[in-house]
């Protein structure tokens, strides 16, 4: 009979610092990407900020630097597979990826156009797959493990009118997360997703100027409030850090209870 392993004493809370790590964030120039980048920079990672718009990235890099962190912009169009290979694949080190770039174009299902279908699925799914692939290849070559975090949505767990294609894309991300988590687990590369509810950002704020839309949204959230960018930041650091060392193929849903109904 095999003896049980000794119990280590004293127990210590796992570290949530990311010092010495390189964290890549796509769609980092604004909104959720900016919040993720600031969170990782605040936890000690050097953040590689990715989007197509250099001035946005420079502003976020300056924001992180002002708080004592380190960040550098990398202009890359994640809808261009050649750009992904050259720029993300060309990085010397990747320890954390936040696969955040995405889009939405709400419309009734009976009016969904091929152009909008392609736009949503190409960015939300195809680009996410190949960005993750480039990061995973780098992590495998390094041989030191890593953390890949897909930005999903509560809509990856439920359905909603006028968001059929967006829901389809985020359900695909949830499946991708599980499959990648299983395949990469032997290499200590963890893959998880974050599923936010409606987060109040400059982009979403105009939606909530419509009183009926705001009332309907809040009625679906048991906690009765919209998400803030800060609500995402702790989850990102947790999933990137050793504090979540045994978590893979899973999702953290930050929705105030929307999907618990």
Query: Tell me, what's the pLDDT at 65?
Result: 98
Mean of the pLDDT values across residues 153-181? 98
Cα–Cα nearest to 27, from 146, 234, 254, 203: 203
| Domains and their CATH numbers in the chain | 22-251 (3.40.50.720)
Please say if the pLDDT value at position 160 is more than 70. yes
Please say if the pLDDT value at position 9 is more than 90. no
Please say if the pLDDT value at position 18 is more than 70. yes
CB-count burial class (<10 Å; 0-12, 13-18, 19+) for 6: exposed
Q: How far apart are CA 46 and CA 76, in angstroms?
A: 18
Per-residue pLDDT of 200-223, as tens digits, reads: 987 788 889 999 999 999 999 999
Please say if the pLDDT value at position 69 is more than 90. yes
Region label for 144, one of left (φ > 0), alpha (ψ between -120 and 50) or beta (otherwise)? alpha
Contacts of 237 by beta carbon, 8 Å cutoff, 6+ apart: 16, 18, 39, 40, 42, 43
Beta strands in 16-135 (DSSP E): 22-26, 46-51, 70-75, 96-99
Mean of the pLDDT values across residues 86-100? 98
Please say if the pLDDT value at position 1 is more than 70. no
> pTM, whole model, 2 decimals?
0.95
Exposure of 26 in the CB half-sphere (CA atoms within 13 A): 30
Query: Does residue 166 have an active-site annotation?
Result: yes
Among 126, 166, 178, 214, which one carries the catalytic annotation?
166
Q: Does residue 194 sit in helix, strand or coil?
A: strand
Query: Tell me, what's the pLDDT at 238?
Result: 98
Query: Tell me, what's the pLDDT at 64?
Result: 98
Give me the residue label for tokens 């261009």.
Answer: 80
Mean of the pLDDT values across residues 141-156? 98
Please say if the pLDDT value at position 8 is more than 80. no
CA 18 remoteness from chain centre = 17
Among 21, 117, 138, 170, which one carries the catalytic annotation?
170
Q: How far apart are CA 159 and CA 150, in angstroms?
A: 19
Mean of the pLDDT values across residues 167-181? 98
Query: Does residue 170 have an active-site annotation?
Result: yes
Mean of the pLDDT values across residues 6-29? 92
Q: How far apart are CA 143 and CA 161, in angstroms?
A: 44
Per-residue pLDDT of 216-257, as tens digits, reads: 999 999 999 999 999 999 999 999 999 999 999 999 999 999
């Amino acid at each position: 009979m095999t003896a049980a392993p000794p119990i280590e004493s004293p127990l210590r809370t796992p570290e949530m610092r990311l010092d010495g790590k390189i964290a890549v964030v796509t769609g980092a120039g604004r909104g959720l990407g900016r919040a993720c980048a600031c969170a990782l920079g605040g936890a000690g990672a050097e953040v590689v900020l990715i989007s197509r718009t250099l001035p946005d990235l420079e502003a976020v890099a300056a924001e992180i630097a002002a708080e004592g962190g380190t960040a550098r912009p990398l202009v890359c169009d994640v809808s261009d597979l050649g750009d992904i290979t050259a720029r993300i694949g060309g990085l010397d080190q990747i320890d954390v990826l936040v696969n955040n770039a995405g889009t939405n174009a709400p419309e009734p299902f009976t009016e969904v156009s091929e152009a909008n279908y392609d736009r949503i699925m190409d960015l939300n799914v195809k680009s996410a797959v190949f960005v993750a692939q480039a990061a995973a290849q780098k992590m495998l070559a390094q041989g030191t493990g890593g953390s890949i975090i897909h930005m999903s949505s509560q809509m990856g767990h439920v359905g909603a009118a006028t968001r059929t294609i967006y829901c389809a894309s985020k359900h695909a991300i949830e499946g991708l997360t599980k499959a990648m988590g299983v395949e990469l687990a032997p290499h200590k590369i963890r893959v998880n997703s974050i599923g936010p509810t409606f987060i109040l950002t400059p982009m979403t704020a105009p939606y909530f100027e419509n009183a009926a839309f705001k009332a309907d949204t809040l009625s679906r959230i048991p906690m009765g409030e919209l998400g803030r960018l800060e609500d995402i930041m702790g989850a990102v650091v947790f999933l990137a850090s050793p504090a979540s060392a045994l978590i893979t193929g899973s999702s953290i849903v930050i929705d105030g209870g929307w999907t618990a109904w």
